[in-house]
Amino acid sequence: MAAEPGSRRAGGREARHAMRAAPLAEDVRPIRPGLEGGRYKPLDQKDLERINEAVLTLLETVGFANAIPSCVEALTGVGAQYGADGRIRFPRALVLSTIRNAARHFTLFGQDPKHDMKIQGARVHYGTAGAAVHFVDVEKREYRESQLQDIYDAARIVEVLDNIHFFQRPMVARDIADPLDLDFNTLYACVMGTSKHVGTSFTVRENVAPALEMLHAIAGGEANFRARPFVSNSNCFVVPPMKFAEDACGVLEACVEGGIPILLLSAGQAGATAPAAVAGAVVQAVAEVLAGLVYVNALKPGHPAIFGAWPFVSDLRTGAMSGGSAEQALLTAACAQMAQFYDLPGGSAAGMADSKLPDIQSGYEKGITNVMAGLAGLNLVYESAGMHASLLGFCLESLIIDNDMLGHCLRSVRGIEVTDASLSLDTISEVCLNGPGHYLGHEQTLRLMQTEYFYPAVGDRFSPKEWNEKGRPDMLQRAIAEKKRLLAESFPRHVSKSIDERLRAHFANIALPRSRMGG
């Protein structure tokens, strides 16, 4: 009996879909956390050395203002100089010895060990971050104030997205006014929503202690948390240009004492709080972060700290931030190179689209900035997914769309492996001399279709005919549907109900209703 027209093709397509649905071992997946980047280098070796020399000169001659007394004590105790003008200056020998002895090649842990991230060399990981004050409602095409529930919902969506490797709180819970309640509940929503590594921040030093108490309870004790700290502190210890931030310095000291890894974050804005020259913005950011590195190591030698040179860009016509600009992509890639120059674990920002909605502008801005960061070998790419309006808005649908985009970035980072087998001489000979003249059913094609190629989840690869037959699906509509499905069905259970009940009994200020967490 003759096969019906198209049945052979459809059957083959269904078989390929079934093959792709089978789980792969981590080491043979086409994309995965920690792929090696570093192929893209906007700075040559001479440029890196000149920037380093400028940085050392700046730290030695200009230094930092506004150090709190405990900071002055720690820094002068290791050889920094406190001048009559109230500025702390850093002899280059002190800076260089700190770089040599600083922690490197360490792990940022997840609550679930499968999400552990080895931070070294040019290994690349993408994640969220930011302090957006608005939630993007795509269906209504409007912005509203972000809330605590939005942070939890974002965390549980990230939990199931393979190409977003860590979760730093991307929004501010505008429905919580008290700073202590805000810091505590933000962290609670994050660690309950995902078992991946979490980044968070604190307003003042005093807010760290109750957070640590909660984290110790989740980890099963202080010793367990110190052995595997699954939360890091995003710390803006500096107010550019070249001033310490007093409250953040107190937080830094408390986090170092509590065993929390530190993201040393310098976020000057080129043309406003940093030089307009791209190279000058890099110099200032690197100098500010290295001052923080000396500070952390003065408090506790070898404490894990991330080189967070994180300069932003201004649109010099208006002064407004431009997170999706080409200059932002260059700045981030250059900072990745400087981290590698010092062999320090590096983190910076990309994906901060200027676009207000997940549209064409958002796609090209996020794609270009994220792939350049990855190709440059940035260890931790913060703010890479979900963000809009240059950090003012955050969108759940964009998390899902950007997960596809980051898959493309990771595949680009992985590059092309050239081996005797991949050169395919035997395969080409077999197909051309003895075979059907195409590779569609060849053993190599079937074997490599999962391990060599990335397939988007919501991106459209239908032919025009298939697209029309399927009702002309729209990527954004598919993302909306997937968001609704995940929010209805996906409630992480990595923190047991009994531990959560103990937390709620002990901490009366937990604001996220149990009923909104699937329980």
| Interatomic CA distance for residues 252 and 89, integer angstroms | 19
Q: What pLDDT, on the 0 to 100 scale, is given for residue 17?
A: 60
Q: Is 158 domain-assigned?
A: yes
pLDDT, tens digit (0-9, with 9 covering 90-100), for 287-329: 999 999 999 999 999 999 999 999 999 888 888 889 999 999 9
- Tally of residues, the chain: 519
Is the predicted pLDDT of residue 513 greater than 50, yes or no?
Answer: yes
Q: Is 239 domain-assigned?
A: yes
Q: What pLDDT, on the 0 to 100 scale, is given for residue 5?
A: 43
| Interatomic CA distance for residues 374 and 35, integer angstroms | 9
In 3-state terms, what secondary structure has residue 72? Answer: helix
What is the secondary structure of 239-304 as a DSSP string? ETTTEE-HHHHHHHHHHHHHT--EEEEE--EETTTB-SSHHHHHHHHHHHHHHHHHHHHHHSTT--
Is the predicted pLDDT of residue 482 greater than 70, yes or no?
Answer: yes
Q: Is 460 domain-assigned?
A: no
Q: Is 126 domain-assigned?
A: yes
pLDDT, tens digit (0-9, with 9 covering 90-100), for 191-248: 999 999 999 999 999 999 999 999 999 999 999 999 999 999 999 999 999 999 999 9
Is the predicted pLDDT of residue 340 greater than 60, yes or no?
Answer: yes
Is the predicted pLDDT of residue 6 greater than 90, yes or no?
Answer: no
Q: Is 335 domain-assigned?
A: yes
User: What is the pLDDT confidence band of residue 278, given thresholds at 50, 70 and 90?
Assistant: very high
Average pLDDT of the segment spanning 274-296: 97
Which DSSP helix (H) or strand (E) runs through 88? Answer: strand 88-89
Q: What is the CATH number of the domain that holds 320?
A: 3.20.20.480
Is the predicted pLDDT of residue 11 greater than 80, yes or no?
Answer: no
Number of separate domains in the chain: 1
Is the predicted pLDDT of residue 24 greater than 80, yes or no?
Answer: no
Q: 312 vs 269, 280, 309, 364, 398, CA distance in Å?
A: 4, 12, 10, 18, 21
Domain around 150 = 99-414
Is the predicted pLDDT of residue 13 greater than 70, yes or no?
Answer: no
Q: Which residues contact 512 (CB under 8 A, 6 or more apart)?
A: 148, 149, 152, 185, 188, 189, 192
